[in-house]
Amino acid sequence: MIEYVNLDYKPTDKDLIVMYFVEKALDCNSLEKTCEEIAKESSIGTWTDISTMSADIANRLKPSTFSIDNNNQIIKIAYIEDLFEADNIPQILSAIAGNIFGMKTLNNLRLLDISFPKNIVNKYKGPKYGINGIRKLLNIEKRPLLGTIVKPKVGLNEKEHAKVCQEAWLGGLDIVKDDENLTNMTFNKFDKRIEETLKLKGRAEEETGDKKIYMPNITAKLSVMKERAAIVKNNGGEYVMIDVFTVGFSALQEIRDYIEEIDLVIHAHRAMHAAFTRNKTHGITMLALAKIMRLIGMDQLHTGTIIGKMEGDKQEVLETNKVITQSKVLGNNKTLLDQEWLNIKPTLPVASGGLSPLHVPELIEILGKDMVFQFGGGCHGHPNGTFSGAKAIRQAVDASLDGIGLNEFANKHIELKKAIEKWVM
């Protein structure tokens, strides 16, 4: 009989380590028994003894549950790296986040974190641009990057869409992006939207003297994503946006390599993530998914706001930002594992969802400056429209960075004053 629980096992630097929260089934005798089944099912075992299992296979490939915290129901399993095709994220997840979620021996299972060994990390390119590359592209050194999302999400035609973008850029925002469900619509064709929007981007850059960015959503099947990325490049664009979870990990790995060839920055929208992440006792954490996005090579990624309309508590968001921005992360016993990123560049975190200019001081205080702050309704919902909404956002940032209260700053800045009057908390 193969034993998959070994509390004396000491993980090596060649092990892939996974931390899970485990809620065992009521009829399961112990957490140790559930651990045995999880480790078995995610590697070389099955529900019964089999004649095809050899001592050699067991000795070489069996994982070890080396930590069991009964009080917090948290376990850690070390997997031998030979269990994985190193450059194949779908295969890795099929093992450590596959059949185990459906096993009767447990009621709930949540994958909290993954620690990738250096031999697997070295198989990935990570972001092409990352934080420093993006700052260099936009020529912004110290302040947060500021953006908006065209609203309504869908409904505007190509010229109307481009005009909204232009107003936001002229008002002082750096970035405008499509929303997650705007692709190639009957009323807004992708090709024409790119042409019209990038044309007005150029005019905004000439008028302001500042670099501006448009992030068109290329989400589609893989072949179409490649075609759309090429259209963006051929029209002078520098960025694309992808709904990373709806397109899937396999497509994401391939499109990342293609986009590197034509030299674009990738903005990763996390639409659908909450289907995996929101249940605090089951699924996969945003932290674990974010680490995978950094490995694959997303230059920037939605990670949460803490404030605003989207779910996500402070510790969760801060730790997620930590694992995608730092070169080395030291773990703890409940939410984080050690991770060394070697030559993988950091991914730029993005805060978006229900934000207005009034949130800016708190955003900077909690999340810092190496961020993209995006305001959808908080820009276009300004009483005087998109241009004034963008100006109010810039004014809020200027005030916060200078240590001036928003109400005081608003005395001489009418756009911020109007924003405060509308969104006063």
Helix (H, G, I), strand (E, B) or coil at 31: helix
Amino acid at 199: K
- If we measure between CA atoms, which residue out of 255, 291, 314 comes closest to residue 114? 291
Q: Which candidate, 403, 404, 349, places its Cα nearest to that of 373?
A: 349
Q: Where are the alpha helices (DSSP H) in 235-277?
A: 244-247, 249-262, 274-277
Core vs surface per residue 9-39: b (16+ CB within 10 A) or e: bebeeebbbbbbbbbbeeebeebbebbbbbb
**Cβ–Cβ < 8 Å for 389, 379:** yes
Neighbour count for residue 87 (Cβ, 10 Å): 15
3-state secondary structure (DSSP) of residue 78? strand
What's the sign of the alpha-carbon dihedral 174, 180, 184, 188? negative
What does the block give as tokens for 409?
């700053």
Which residues are designated catalytic? 151, 269
Q: Which residue type occupies 323?
A: V
